[in-house]
Structure 1
């Protein structure tokens, strides 16, 4: 990522965070009347961060040379950044101040060690796969292959979840909360782009998605960032129907850039029978037609 691009990203990120806050949000007096900017003024952010307006204006223009951690902390507090946003701002500042370097591809790691595949295969009651920071799916276990059958059914190898979300119409039915999944996918890629600014493979992926999907381009321009760590995700599987699965994303310390994503379900939870049938599909499920019990809970 060229230095000018990094500075532009800093500018857009700070202005977008400033625009989402009102004086009320920041506990500042609002004297009424028409405001010429959406959100806080630069002078208000500077006041909250205890820095001069001139200095804040310089930072918002991407001129971040020599900025201290203390200033970044004050700025993060003033703009009410969460931990992910604070880390993103730090990554952008680091990228802006770093000497130009060769292309960085660590987030696009593509090799999965045999022992990691063995871990996946040992998880017989969970759907698990390994992805890199570009959202390429590199390895799966049996249950993950059954769960993500549509996403993995692609000529593009390795399969990429961002391409599936934005370029494959099946994704909107597969993800019951497609809007949140789309937000998280873009936020994850935006976070990685700041972390590895010289990553030409990632830049190519982002250009491809922005060119082919207006929705991706719009979300990319929002400069939101996200970590995909844990929570619950709703699916509509073409063979077994609705599933509400718990997920955890575990980074692999020995393999920087690789993450194991694991989906589990309490045996007593709704849809438990449907999840179990992914491992032992009913004959009707193989044909793509959900059986009558697809949405039922566990047997009583």
Structure 2
């Protein structure tokens, strides 16, 4: 019997679901093993007896701490998170001493395993051709320090004038294409190591953000393509990706190096944009009266519309 187009479509959908499931089981297994390795017996409050063949806790110790049988935990660590209750996931998070980002990642993996992740994604997500609304541009331009908008794949989508000046090396490296922090960090090493004085920290953060996004939206083809490209071209990326570290990127301080005005030590605050699910607005600020504040004033004077007209 000849197959109909609907039969082919159904088979393709089933094949895609199978691939996602297979990938999900590997993600679950490696994430749980990596988190178990990070917790010592002393940290967990269990006796350290016998010879340990691996770092961290044994499966049986995690099972005991989570209040489940070792057989059941071993099944979970093989990747079978589909249908696991929230109470068991919470118990696992406590036993493995997961932070907020790691706990959320565990729940995202569980949702992907039982097929509920697609239903939980926002209905509206920015497309490839997303452009900022005029009102957003006005808001960015009213902010006196650097301000940027990015997505979970680390694409730089919008910024104010000072934000663009601050990231001049990133824009220079992209040659007219959409700037991407991950590609810049791992594929333009000379420029990125100059821009990030603490390159290792910046690289760790970049990969952790991508890993977090992959757990939140495992069906994002553009993200899968980006991770595949970076893994194929960068040993530094591959090593960090294999650690399965995740993190929230909400607030803190960063140091950048600008080729014209020197080092910039900036505080930052990042917020999710409710009007554009999946996008993050990051506002940078310098301590008043600091050398960084003076450097930003100098950079702003060079990039102001009046200065460009005079030039």
What is the TM-score when the length of structure 1 is the normalising length?
A: 0.89
Task: Name the SS of the counterpart of 1:106 in structure 2.
Answer: coil
- The answer for unaligned runs of 5 or more in structure 2 is 1-18
Distance 1:67 1:159, change over 3 A: same
Partner of residue 129 from structure 1, selected from 144, 148, 164: 148
Partner of residue 206 from structure 1, selected from 223, 227, 231: 227
Matches of 1:256 and 1:234, distance apart in 2:
28
Residues 1:261 and 2:282 aligned together:
yes
- In structure 1, the residue matched to 2:178 is 158
- In structure 2, the residue matched to 1:114 is 134
Asked whether the 8 Å contact 1:107–1:133 carries over to 2, the reply is no
**Mapping of residues 141-220 of structure 1, within 5 Å:** 141-153=160-172, 154-155=174-175, 157-168=177-188, 169-220=190-241
Distance 1:101 1:23, change over 3 A: closer
Give the CA deviation at 1:271: 2.4
Task: Name the SS of the counterpart of 1:2 in structure 2.
Answer: helix
Matches of 2:114 and 2:83, distance apart in 1:
8
Distance 1:101 1:119, change over 3 A: closer
Give the CA deviation at 1:266: 2.2
Pairwise CA RMSD = 2.0
Task: Name the SS of the counterpart of 2:185 in structure 1.
Answer: helix
- In structure 1, the residue matched to 2:270 is 249
- The answer for unaligned runs of 5 or more in structure 1 is 287-300
Residues 1:27 and 2:48 aligned together:
no
Give the CA deviation at 1:250: 1.6
Give the CA deviation at 1:101: 6.4
Asked whether the 8 Å contact 2:82–2:111 carries over to 1, the reply is no
Give the CA deviation at 1:106: 3.1
What is the TM-score when the length of structure 2 is the normalising length?
A: 0.86
Asked whether the 8 Å contact 1:108–1:201 carries over to 2, the reply is no
Residues 1:66 and 2:87 aligned together:
no
Give the CA deviation at 1:90: 0.3
Bigger shift: 6-15 or 170-179? 170-179
Partner of residue 34 from structure 2, selected from 12, 16, 34: 16
Distance 1:108 1:187, change over 3 A: farther
Distance 1:107 1:255, change over 3 A: closer
Deviations 1:44-76 (A, max 9, x none): 000110110011001111112221111111100
Residues 1:87 and 2:108 aligned together:
no
- Number of aligned residues: 280
Give the CA deviation at 1:269: 2.4
Deviations 1:137-189 (A, max 9, x none): 11111100110000112126210011111111211111111111111110111
Residues 1:138 and 2:157 aligned together:
yes
Distance 1:254 1:192, change over 3 A: same
Residues 1:226 and 2:247 aligned together:
yes
Distance 1:170 1:96, change over 3 A: same
Asked whether the 8 Å contact 1:107–1:196 carries over to 2, the reply is no
Structure number with the higher helix fraction is 2
